[in-house]
Amino acid sequence: MSGLKSSWEISMEKSDKLVPEVKKQKKLTAKQKEHIAEIRREFKAKIADKDVTFQHKLNHLAERTPPEQLEMESEKLKQEFAEEKEQLEKEMETQVEAIRKPSQ
């Protein structure tokens, strides 16, 4: 019976074959994990701040925009927020990858 493998073991073998670079990655130290967590918290806060600012602008858009331009300005604000959020997320991932793969 020792020759039988559990579905977990079979799955792990398949995943090793599909993504061999994952197995080659070094384990992160506790310090690296904490640094990554700090970066993620920092960027999560930045994105939340941008979201609050966006919501505020969107809520007060009707007060300072003519009705015929309201929809266009609303879409413009949404697009700007989406671009800023995407940029922050890319920057965050770049910093995280720098910690995961330090230059040798």
pTM of the shown model: 0.70
Report the C-alpha gap between 104 and 90 in whole angstroms. 23
- The 10s digit of each residue's pLDDT in 11-62 is 877 877 776 665 566 788 899 999 999 999 999 999 999 999 999 999 998 8
Q: How many CA atoms are closer than 13 Å to the CA of 78, on its beta-carbon side?
A: 6
Lowest mean pLDDT among 51-55, 63-67, 95-99: 63-67
Radius of gyration, CA atoms only, the chain: 23
